[in-house]
Structure 1
């Protein structure tokens, strides 16, 4: 079997509500499907029914131990080896959403995204380029409230509790310390899409040129 060249790996992480999902969508628009692969830490959550609840019956998903790290690392390695991976989409326990089977094919550019990708030493070591997205806390919270109500069916009290007790402590402990190590820091405090579109235009052009000469 012919050994494939390793992909150029881009790590993208950001605080909850930083606009990472929109950034990723606009970034991927610049590439054909065969040019880029995306693997998301969010699809490797350990099922909630296997986790320990707090006294208030809320699961804490914002811990490195909430992720099946071995499966996450295994699938990244398979993409490095030129193999296609399959994974069931994680729906955050929303019964209204039927999970899809996600197919990810190897590609010259591999995007790895998630809260803990810099914290996981083995994953961080594979990254060639690191992007950090940030938004002011109140702006990020309002985005989180909107998303969790619409997409995940959570009520406001639950979201606010998790924000204070889970989300921000995890961000400060497991992501923020790596901010200064990143190649690019993007501040995203506006819901105007134009700045993000401009930034993704710039980054994609730079990376395309870099990958083509590597």
Structure 2
């Protein structure tokens, strides 16, 4: 197919509901060629560092991400080339030796906390979304997720939030809201906004003669 894929960026703070929004949009196009690329998969390889250094990684800082590789992979997908998507090993705080073969698709959803921070990434997106959710809801969601799914203690989650997550959100994530084409309040619960996005994406696809 000669037409280029479209890229939809879904950004927002940790616990904002951006993953839910991305998944709901994804589900609306399951009968089509669609794929999800998570910025989290592109955390930098730290295999050259000792474990004590890896443990100090600030995962909410722009420098934690290998955006050069992410950009290279997105450009390949736009050119209809296959990529080897990295897999991040959170237990060992470095990139896994595994990879995921990913074929190009008509629609690419790029999801992550800092995808709007890098101008190069913004420039190749067709639609830029920012999921905007109040800080109290975000910390509650993060608490519930990290305790239930990651075996964390309440104290450790709160310490990480106050020392790293919150200041990084205010410094790097929140300011990227101004780059968004659409701001979605309250994340995955905002069905009207999600339906509007789906309609807009279908319109773009129709214009590209994909549908």
Which residue pairs with 1:11 in the alignment?
A: 9
In 2 relative to 1, CA 90–121 (structure 1 residues): closer, same or farther, beyond 3 Å?
same
- The alignment yields a C-alpha RMSD, in angstroms, of 2.8
Q: Pick one of 198, 202, 206 that aligns with 1:208.
A: 202
Distance 1:165 1:127 in 2: 32
In 2 relative to 1, CA 128–172 (structure 1 residues): closer, same or farther, beyond 3 Å?
same
Which residue pairs with 1:133 in the alignment?
A: 131
In 2 relative to 1, CA 109–59 (structure 1 residues): closer, same or farther, beyond 3 Å?
same
On the 8 A contact 1:53/1:59 being kept in 2, the answer is no
In 2 relative to 1, CA 153–109 (structure 1 residues): closer, same or farther, beyond 3 Å?
same
Q: Which has the higher strand share?
A: 2
Q: What CA deviation, in whole Å up to 9, does each residue of 1:56-115 have, x standing for no partner? A: x653111111112222112111111111222243242289xx997434321222211212
Taking structure 2 as the reference length, what is the TM-score of the superposition? 0.83
Q: 4+ residue stretches of structure 1 with deviation over 4 A?
A: 51-54, 98-101
**Match runs of 1:90-105 below 5 Å:** 90-93=88-91, 101-105=99-103
Q: What CA deviation, in whole Å up to 9, does each residue of 1:145-195 have, x standing for no partner? A: 111222233322222122112112222222222213311111117xxx6x4
Shift of residue 37 of structure 1?
2.0
Taking structure 1 as the reference length, what is the TM-score of the superposition? 0.82
Which residue pairs with 2:186 in the alignment?
A: 188
Which residue pairs with 1:26 in the alignment?
A: 24
Q: How many equivalent residue pairs?
A: 204
Distance 1:109 1:6 in 2: 9
Q: What CA deviation, in whole Å up to 9, does each residue of 1:104-156 have, x standing for no partner? A: 32122221121221111211111121111011111100100111222233322
- Tell me, which stretches of 5 or more residues in structure 2 are unaligned? none
Distance 2:97 2:23 in 1: 20
**Match runs of 1:83-94 below 5 Å:** 83-93=81-91
Q: Pick one of 41, 44, 47 that aligns with 2:42.
A: 44
Distance 2:46 2:145 in 1: 19
Match of 2:88, SS state, is coil
- Tell me, which stretches of 5 or more residues in structure 1 are unaligned? none
On the 8 A contact 1:9/1:109 being kept in 2, the answer is yes
